[in-house]
Chains A and B, each alone.
Chain A
């Protein structure tokens, strides 16, 4: 027992105190910063983008498809595409994910998630999710697990993953939704009590990502049911996830 206690002392405090303003390493690829002025419309970036997230006239990136791989930045000779380390990327409507020139992080974040009274009055202090991996590659799943570890510790804000959909307020979906998981996903959704919040996590869930053209995908679920929160990334960073959920359940 004394060894264990010693280990505890050795570890010290590990949590991030202010999760809303947590510093991020500058290398992180977050919100894209676009610059039309030196763009010569060569189309190289559009050609190399694996998910078709880029449009060149005018330059724009659809974050619902973007895997933040940085291939476009590497190929661009004119330095028109850059990635900032801004990580609060979650939005409540898919249209808001399209990044155009001149969109700075403040503007992006301001319009990102609309405060809804019916949400914050109920879920202000606690929201429990059931996670469904529907073809997810285990990247987003590992990051969602990491969101609960001693560093990020989202449990202190009342955000948790629970074992049964019956105990959950909503579901978090990762992965492009495979044919084989379509039934189980819908079943899980129906087992969740109302109001059944739906959160999509990661480029695959948002648009199919790199699997858009795969044969074994069935995304009908998303046509049938309303989605409340879109969180882009590949995989989603724990800070992105926690901040998106906090913006969703709390008043600004």
Chain B
């Protein structure tokens, strides 16, 4: 196979990436068992260049290849037909470049042309449709759900998104900034900003200090702790266990208020910048963080114990919204949701982040249901608190280091990639520069891009009243998907 092998957070020369015939690349992708992490087109003079990045999780390698597609080509044989992991990628590619994948099993709009969306329909006695959205009952982002039900039972759920589409990828090329990166998906501020900053640093050839790297990782884990605790509360809120909802709710406040003390924003906005970080964590603050986290850990442990002892909670969580490991693998589910289905992917460990090297990678006994999604969050909260404490200890060894290094210019004809394990899962940012050192393409793949289809699978054959529980368990991003 014709690939250029690179590592995470690396810049390579755009001209080093092999360009193969489109048909050859298609055949290779259909046959390989490596999973795709990025698949996107880019304007290439008169033509279109298609970039593909595959992940070899065992070796921690990323394989990059490309194909030049003539502008006159209007169709090709779909890859998704043979390999379902490409189904969303091909739909997106079709929408952006109007090259039609023939025999694609589910060729529907992704973010545009919602008026022409044809829903899958079922006919028969007692079958009915339930349409929900775009504006939902709660204070959440917009999206449309169409349930095909027989009685109370859901046979199929189709999810139509795109309401949040703001044209982020174009804007990132036109006017990139840390603030824009933070606002792409406001619940993963640190993950998005970290991925963006790492890509830009690679494209400029900047090496940031150890201290800045540590502070970034502390913030990343804090974000994971905060959101996971909030989600535990939200899951319990959806099954009307209000004690749990409120206790987790106020415990989350403690974590995000600590974030406020670090960066001046409850979600860590303004903390990370290209070249390093803007705020320091001194010894005094470090001690305060440890104290807060100890208290948080204590409360979360106590509350979880009480919650899981309650039979009413367990009867709602167990065996609800099952996604089998086979289905999860076929759909390429990633991140926390993937792990709750038994897929052991974690880009912090897979792609060899030096800071996580020393930590033991604990296994998780997945039960694939809503209970599994509850339990994985609990496990990750406890784990992340441990990581933060170790990072804070390491921070004392590099007290004198600078927080931010000098900015440099972008290097022409480059291709850089950064994968960050946000709380949802692997977040992939890819950027390329043209011959004059300007950004020419910026591509983002949120973990939700993989996982939305998993939600459809989870609610199948469940009562429609269990949908909120499944939805909260997945807690996917609308704006990260819509961009």
Contacts and interface: CB of A to CB of B under 8 A. Distances in A.
Interface of A: 3-4, 6-8, 10-11, 14, 25, 27-29, 50-51, 67-71, 74, 83, 130-146, 149-151, 161, 163-164, 175-176, 178-181, 184, 188, 204, 209-211, 213-217, 234-235, 237
Contacts of B174: 213
A71 B266 contact: no
Contact of B253 (A4, A29, A151): A151
7 contacts: A4-B243, A7-B247, A69-B179, A130-B135, A142-B267, A151-B253, A210-B177
A210 B142 contact: no
Interface in B359-399: none
Nearest to B478: A138
Contacts of A213: 171, 174-175
Contact of A150 (B179, B250, B257): B250
Interface in B238-280: 243, 246-247, 249-250, 253, 257, 260-267, 269-270, 273, 278
Nearest to A208: B166
A150 B137 contact: no
Contact of A50 (B138, B179, B260, B303): B179
User: 9 closest A-B pairs (Cβ-Cβ)?
Assistant: A139-B186, A137-B186, A163-B137, A216-B167, A50-B179, A215-B167, A149-B249, A50-B177, A3-B306
Nearest to B180: A210
Nearest to A11: B247
A135 B479 contact: yes
Given A138-B479, A149-B246, A67 B171 contact: no
A206 B170 CA distance: 22
Given A11-B247, A214-B167, A235-B267, 9 more contacts: A11-B250, A27-B261, A69-B178, A141-B140, A163-B137, A181-B163, A184-B142, A204-B183, A213-B174
B266 A143 contact: yes
B250 A67 contact: no
Contacts of A7: 243, 247, 302-303, 306
B435 interface: no
Contacts of A237: 266
A133 B141 contact: yes
B139 A178 contact: no
A67 B269 contact: yes
B477 interface: yes
B184 A137 contact: yes
Contact of A137 (B183, B249, B257): B183
Interface string B448-483: 000000000000000000000000000001110000
Given A135-B479, A141-B141, A211 B183 contact: yes
A213 B173 CA distance: 12
B162 A180 contact: yes
Given A144-B139, A184-B134, A237-B266, A149 B253 contact: yes
A89 to B, nearest CB: 14
Interface of B: 111-112, 114, 134-135, 137-142, 162-168, 170-171, 174-175, 177-180, 183-187, 189, 230, 243, 246-247, 249-250, 253, 257, 260-267, 269-270, 273, 278, 299, 302-303, 305-306, 309-310, 477-479
Given A149-B249, A211-B171, A215-B167, A234 B266 contact: no
Most buried by B among A136, A164, A181, A216: A216
Nearest to A83: B264
Contacts of A134: 142
A143 B478 CA distance: 17
Given A137-B186, A184-B134, A216 B166 contact: yes
A210 B181 CA distance: 9
Contacts of B114: 180
Given A180-B165, A215-B167, A138 B261 contact: no
A130 B250 CA distance: 24
A144 B139 CA distance: 7
Nearest to B185: A137
Contacts of B167: 214-217
Contacts of B479: 135-138
B165 A216 contact: yes
Contact of A184 (B137, B163, B267, B269): B163
Given A178-B166, A210-B180, A211-B171, A133 B140 contact: yes
Contacts of B253: 146, 149, 151
A11 B230 CA distance: 16
Nearest to A24: B260
A130 B137 CA distance: 9
Given A180-B114, A184-B142, A213-B175, A25 B260 contact: yes
B477 A217 contact: no
A149 B250 contact: yes
Contacts of A217: 166-167
